[in-house]
Amino acid sequence: PAPAGLPGDPDPEEAVSDDSSRHGGRVRGFPHERGNWATHVYLPYIAQEEFLELLELLVSRARTYVPSLAAMEEFHLSLSQCVVLRYHWIEPFVRSLRERLAAFHRFFCVADQVKVYTNQNKTRTFIGLEVSAGHFQLLELVSEVDGVLEEFDLPTFYKDPSFHISLAWCVGDLSGRLEGQCLRELQDIVDGFEESAFLLRIQWEQIRCKSGNKYFSFPLR
């Protein structure tokens, strides 16, 4: 039976649409099936006004190379891939995460290296800020999250992850246009931004898990 008391339980008759035009042309990484919940573990980043000013400068410059680029509206650093959970797995999955992450303390990292990424099936391209300090603590967190994923026979995180905060995206593999000269110009903007040293030294205070329309928070000590 499905667990009781989870907020935001879906209407069992709710229709599901996979119309990519409603999502900026994005394509699902896996087909939707009723009872399957797309699930993701991550560190949320709450953008400050100065960060949004830096983002605007970067996206404006990058659009001279790729006009279809869209700025992200929310920001995070991933600790897992997007995996599929059955609905009745959500409660034990979250419980196991909470137990494994309970001992972790707040920590800082620095995300100040501009990098271009594509998703695994090359349907989207991203500009991100890669972590240059704090890698060890992130690997420790991923190790615990991977342990939970293995309990449920789900894919673990990438073997040699490039931890990053995505800033902007576009449909298709347009990495060739963004790398090289564009990437150098974007890095110059970050390096020259007055508040960048302060802004891009980030203290992580909580971990979140999003499963479908449900959010679970795990505060760091």
Q: How far is it, in rounded angstroms, from Cα 209 to Cα 215?
A: 6
pLDDT in tens, 177-208: 999 999 999 999 999 999 899 999 999 999 99
Catalytic residues: 76, 164
Contacts of 178 (CB under 8 A, 6+ apart): 62, 65, 66, 116, 125, 127
* pLDDT surpasses 70 at 32: no
Residue 88 contacts residue 204 (beta carbons within 8 Å): no
The CA-to-CA distance between both ends of the chain, in Å, stands at 34
What Å distances lie between residue 204 and 80, 132, 153, CA to CA?
A: 16, 15, 28
Give me the helix-helix angle, 135-151 and 90-101, nearest 10°: 140
Please determine, for residue 151, whether its predicted confidence score (pLDDT) is greater than 70.
yes
Q: For residues 71 and 170, give the distance between their C-alpha atoms in angstroms, rounded to a whole number.
A: 9
Among the ranges given (33-47, 94-108, 130-144), the one the predictor scored with the smallest mean pLDDT: 33-47
Residue 100, pLDDT > 50, answer: yes
Going from N- to C-terminal start, the domains of the chain cover 35-213
Topology given in CATH for the domain delimited by 35-213: Cyclic Phosphodiesterase; Chain: A, (3.90.1140)
- pLDDT (average), residues 8-26: 44
**Do 111 and 202 form a contact (C-beta atoms < 8 A)?**
yes
Q: What's the predicted TM-score (pTM) here?
A: 0.86
